[in-house]
Amino acid sequence: MAITPVLTFFLTLIHVLYGQLEDVIIDRYLIPTHCSREVQVGDYIRYQYNGTFEDGRKFDSSLDKGFPFVGQVGVESKVIPGLDKGVQGMCVNERRKITVPPHLAYGVLGAGSVIPPDATLVFDVLLLDLWNKEDKVQIRTLHRPQKCTRTVMPTDFVRYHYNGSLLEGNVFESSHLQNSTYNTYVREGNLIKGMEEGILGMCVGERRSIIIPPFLAYDDKGYGAKIPPYATVIFDVLLVDVFNVKDDVNVEVQKIPQPCRRKAVVGDFIRYHYNGTFQDGTVFDSSYSRNSTYNTFIGMGYVIAGMDKALQGVCVGEWRRVTVPPHLAYGENGSGELIPGSAVLIFHLHVIDFHNPKDQVDIKVTYKPADCTLTSAENDLILYHYNCSLLDGTRLYSSDDYPEPPRVTLGQGKLISGLDEGLQGMCVLERREITVPPHLAHGTNGALGVPSSAVLLFELELLQLQKGVPEGFLFIWLQDSPEPLFPVMDMNQDQEVPLEEFSAFIMLQVAEGRGRIHPGIDSDTVLKDMFNNQDRNTDGKITEDELNITVNEEEEVPIHEELRGYGARTPDEKRRIAPRLGQLEDQTPSQRYVQINNYVPILRVFFSEADLKPAFRLSRETINLLVQMLPRQKPHGWSHEIEVAVCLYWLARGTSYRVTADIFAIPRATVGRIVHSIVDDMMAIVHKVIHFPKPEEMEEVGAGFARLAGHEAFRCTAGAIDGCHVRILPPAEPQKKCYFNRKLFPSVVLQGVCDGKGKFLDIYIGNTGSVHDALVLRRSPMYKESLYPPVPISFLLGDGGYPCLQHPLTLMTPYRQPIAGQVEARFNKHHAKARNIIERTFGMLKTRWRAIFLRALEIRPLFAPKVIAACCILHNLCLSTDDILEEEEELHDEDED
């Protein structure tokens, strides 16, 4: 018979009359340390539960159902009264054991076949969530920057990092783990309502904890498997960026020099340093870290649009803070791994200089003597003082750095063209400030100590002035020459003029102001050259027949050929006098070249007995050895010796082909061909100069390292190995980035193995700068083919950048830090003393070929390894001839330059 509600009421009444009813028993066996809120009547809750009888038998479980219970407490409750009462006062993450007596459960009737009559029920409850329909979004500011110039407004675009968790603490998502911000518009329906409200008013760099009740979050739908229905969510938000699509570039001028003589305009070329950061202060790029300015044209689309706009109107030396919104920067896509999509960029700029490609030399006279009648011009020999700096005041070099001020002939290509121009038109003791744009200075490549595309500021003072003669001339008449000339020159009237008499005559003309001798060459040398040009039969005297006068056919003006260099003559003149040079046909090409081109100073030095180190950084003995070892060239217009001289000069000076061509007075294309040809010839003899020692030589090699280490244990050392980065001009993208090493300059790696004397035993060149020394070793033939050292009796010494190896070659490295004890420390000390020879070898290489190793090679990257190998070959040849470039010689050589 079914039990009616009326019967249930009477049964309960009997219990009340004959005994006191039991209440709910609550066991709070796990209480969280923090409880900001307790369950009250009218609240909504979400919890997991297990329902059992007193004997432990389970009758129900939310865990078995796969979803928690959700309901309201005390108001139209869907649960039995005892459980409804038992959850009141709970905290989120609290666990309770709630024992419900029958009269607060299913009473005498039970619940079908699941709950028997008068059953006491036990519920194990874990509270997961708690909210009320009156709840609002809770915002707690965890950090707010002191400086807040802008806050999030409706319609703004924001980028923020977040950690998202449920109220019980489980993290359901994190932008930090994805390494990407969340990017969205505000008030555009892209966010849940609670988040839209929670981020309004935030500053960049501000951090907030935002607690959002379910009905302002994902409500009854939840969010996939991550967020269950009816879940309160907590977002820990860090605002990274905020901007509006209507934003423009914001420029804050922080420092402006006075006076500002010129402001940059569209079309100017500018050099500036910068630090690039995001709005939260994170640095994404810096020109300072590369020790190189950023160089670009203004307003021509070479940089992001916002920067193009911000650079207009700057002054030299100005500091600016530029804020660029993403639609004027890298947009939604960002730029590689450096700049994320939709990022606001902040640039702290320091303008170093700018110029226009049409700029000329700017000359400002700061002092001019009252008596200024004689001024400098092309071909004049001058002595001058100078200070050179960048426009920001950075000092580059000065004549004060040398024992004597420089002496130079103007208009001969010895100076950068802008400086040459600025020195012309000056009188003695005049002082000037000249500003030289880079296209009239060192150009886009720069020079040693001079950045690329740098505008240079020179402070000049002219100290001495000697008027010169036109290019190619050794002497000119300032007045009409005597007619006839020979009787006047033959001062003793013996019908012959020896060198002494010729010299006395010419110097008399100079002293009396009737003529001028070449000021840039030793007068004795000039006089001897002039005399030799007229001493046709080389008998040591000039006769009247030899003193030839021709007539210029166009102007019908007599010209004294004896007072001109052959190189200055016209083609017609050269053809006319060619028969007189017939006696030179029996001489070698180099001798003939020197005599015909006797106005070229570098060749006069090369074919004399003078010291060649100042110009070629090699002794004459070393150069002769190289000439003998190289394969002879095929017959052509340039001699073998001259080609070697051209190549060695280019290596020693690191100048461009154009400059070398001017020095040797030969075509630029010829210089390029010569350099490649001689370098290729040197590659043909590399195996003769750089090779592993023979077995009978190994004992001497080991003895050398034992002496260096100061310990006999290193007698089995076969060599020291290390890598050296050689600067180059990198190729274009995409290969360009591969050449940048850890010090952020483009290079190729020279791996060298040397003996105890610093002689190269093996070289391996060509890996890009980004490749680690250990990987370079593994790629080398010496490693792949186990070529050296002989195993197992000997080993190589390497630094800590290499692995300690036994196969395929034996390589010994020092103990790593921290050192365990004194034994290891002593070993490292001896190891370092022996291994240091390879460092010193690279040092000797850089000292001799500083133009190659201390600034970027201006050649194709594929040719660079050959040039570096050529330097290594010459290094070994120098050791074989005891040609040591001492430090004093090195410094002296710089002074000479």
Q: Which residues are catalytic?
A: 49, 59-60, 80, 106, 123
Report d(CA 663, CA 647) in Å as an integer: 12
Distance CA 192, CA 212 (A): 9
Q: Yes or no: say if 249 and 321 are a contact pair by the CB < 8 Å rule.
A: no
* Residue with token string 């056919």: 553
In the block, tokens 């994805």 appear at 178
Partners of residue 516 on adjacent β-strands: 476
| CB within 8 Å of 197: residues ≥ 6 apart | 137, 216
**Which long-range contacts link 666-671 to residues 24+ away (Cβ below 8 Å)?**
666/638, 670/638, 671/646
The residues near 348 (Cβ < 8 Å, ≥ 6 apart) are: 274, 275, 277, 319, 320, 321, 322
Are 762 and 753 contacting, i.e. CB atoms less than 8 angstroms apart? yes
**Bond from prior residue into 579 cis (ω within 30 degrees of 0):** no
| Cα–Cα nearest to 756, from 811, 792, 791, 715 | 715
DSSP secondary structure, 504-572, as one string: HHHHHHHHTTSEEE-TTS-HHHHHHHHHHHH-TT-SSEE-TTTS-EEE-TTT--EEEGGGB-GGGS-HH
> Cα 885–891–892 angle (5° rounding)?
90
> What is the spatial distance between Cα 275 and Cα 350, in angstroms, rounded to a whole number?
9
The DSSP 8-state label assigned to residue 281 in this structure reads S
How would DSSP label each residue in 170-231? Answer: -EEEEHHHHT--EEEESSSSSS-HHHHHHHTTPBTT-EEEEEE-GGGTTTTT-BTTTB-TT-
State how far the alpha carbon of 745 is from the alpha carbons of 225, 337, 739, in Å: 50, 20, 8
For the beta carbon of residue 357, count every other beta carbon within 10 angstroms: 11
Residue appearing with tokens 């391996």: 764
Contact at 8 Å (CB) between 428 and 374?
A: yes
Distance CA 278, CA 343 (A): 7
Distance CA 747, CA 765 (A): 11
What is the spatial distance between Cα 765 and Cα 773, in angstroms, rounded to a whole number?
12
Rounded (to 5) percent helix, strand, coil in the chain: 30, 25, 40
Asked if residues 15 and 104 have their Cβ atoms less than 8 Å apart, the reply is: no
Radius of gyration, alpha carbons of the chain: 45
Q: How far are the Cα atoms of 94, 567, 577, 580, 665 from residue 598, in angstroms, in the given order? A: 103, 8, 16, 16, 11
DSSP 390-450: ETTS-EEEEGGGSSS--EEETTSSSS-HHHHHHHTT--TT-EEEEEE-GGGTTGGG-BTTB
